[in-house]
Amino acid sequence: MNQDDYQRLMRQGEIAAHAKPPDTRPEEPKTLAYTFEDFLPLLFELLAPKRPLAAAPDFTPRNLLEAIQLYDDGATRRLYLYVTDAWRYVTLT
């Protein structure tokens, strides 16, 4: 029911004069109650040095951090990313 419907019903006497009119204010956006401490495990994991793999990855990652892998066999350096159910890589210089 919008404001016009409410006014029309009020004039027709179908709504008592003391009835509360419908709330026409837009809903306030709901905020999430995250704190800085909620993100500390992720931040520590991102800041820790990552050891390169000696062989190309062949596992299915469980999270975003596992989906990013470094590879170094002494001659070739690659950055591996798990995208669309497959490992893709970029050769690094």
The predicted pLDDT at position 18 comes to 52
Examine the pLDDT at 59 and tell me if it is beyond 80: yes
DSSP state of 3: H
Is residue 15 over pLDDT 70?
no
pLDDT, average across residues 12-34: 72
Rounded mean pLDDT of 30-36? 85
Tell me the pLDDT of the chain averaged across its residues.
86
Single-letter residue type at 54? A
The answer to whether the CB of 57 falls within 8 A of the CB of 80 is yes
The token duo for 82 is 């798990």
Mean local confidence (pLDDT), 68-84: 96
Q: Is the pTM of this model over 0.75?
A: no
